[in-house]
Amino acid sequence: MTNTEAENGPTLVLGGTGKTGRRVVERLEAMDVPVRMGSRSASPAFDWEDEATWAPVLRGVGNVYLSYYPDLAAPGAPEAVGAFTAEAADAGVRRVVLLSGRGEPGALRCEEIVRASGLEWTVVRASWFAQNFSEDYLLDPVRAGEVALPAGEVPEPFVDAEDIADVAAAALTRDGHAGEVYEVTGPRALTFAEAVAEIGRASGREIAFVRVGADDYAAVLREHGLPEEITGFLTHLFTTVLDGRNAEPADGVRRALGRAPRDFAEYARDAAASGIWTWTE
């Protein structure tokens, strides 16, 4: 193992409080790797929408875990990622690990930008996060006992965020990952209905899955106060990316770590055991 952080300054983890970022932080800290959090609540603060915040967080940094909010498929992401990676290169950053999205044209454009940045790069191209059911917009529907989505019979090999973090931490701290694109997925593909059924079995609850139209889904998101950018992004994913292009599991976790990825059933058992899906009035 080559501890590049000790040689080149701390590792900047963008989205350090998010689903993957906080897990990356946990792993780096467990390895005694100096970490700088990149979030609006950190000091110095980082904000993708305020370029004046970029230079302070990049100062003295050796490596960067680059996750873009809300997603690389969102409008404006390529421009922001391009400007940030250029500033990172000017600041002396050596290595960048990009969290990308599987099957998203916008994400591919961002990957190309990072690959052309002059930085040592690794791409972690992820499928749909299993943790969306327990740490994000699907948590409340699961707790309420009904998940309504514009998703049909096309399966998705949901990836566990724990695996994403393991791959990212390895790429940030060990040599041998430069220039690699790791497509990280779970070991098998499930439809959203099957995933909800797995959660029901793990939690011992009856949880229904209901297929709805994209317009109806967007209307419900707006009623719940989600920003238009998030509403548009989620609707886009369900109506485009879930067309079968990502149905086959990939071998990125095994290639990066030498082991199989975690299965969705294991994720569901662990999440259920944590009590996260227990409904409380």
Mean pLDDT for the stretch of residues 236-252: 91
Q: What percent of the chain lies above the pLDDT cut of 70?
A: 96
Query: Which residues are CB-contacts of 127 (< 8 A; sequence separation ≥ 6)?
Result: 102, 156, 157, 158, 159, 183, 184, 185, 186, 246, 250
When mean pLDDT is compared across 34-43, 68-77, 147-156, 221-230, the lowest value belongs to 221-230
- What CATH fold (topology level) applies to the domain 4-127+159-187+247-262? Rossmann fold (3.40.50)
Residue-wise pLDDT tens digits, 112-162: 999 999 999 999 999 999 999 999 889 999 999 999 999 989 999 999 999
110-116 own/partner pairs: CB under 8 Å, 24+ apart: 110/68, 110/72, 110/77, 110/78, 110/81, 111/181, 113/78, 113/81, 113/82, 113/85, 114/66, 114/81, 114/85
When mean pLDDT is compared across 35-39, 104-108, 172-176, 178-182, the lowest value belongs to 104-108
Q: How confident is the model at residue 7 (pLDDT cuts 50, 70, 90)?
A: low
DSSP string over 239-256: IIITTTTT-S---HHHHH
Asked if pLDDT for residue 180 goes beyond 90, the answer is yes
Residue type, 163: D
DSSP string over 35-77: EEEESTTSSS---TT-GGGHHHHHTT--EEEE--SS-TTSTTH
Asked if pLDDT for residue 5 goes beyond 60, the answer is no
Give the start-to-end residue ranges of the domains of the chain.
4-127+159-187+247-262
Q: How confident is the model at residue 2 (pLDDT cuts 50, 70, 90)?
A: very low
* pLDDT attached to residue 8: 67
Asked if pLDDT for residue 198 goes beyond 80, the answer is yes
* pLDDT attached to residue 239: 85
Tokens of 24: 């990356």
Residue type, 266: E
Mean pLDDT for the stretch of residues 178-197: 98
Mean pLDDT for the stretch of residues 216-220: 91
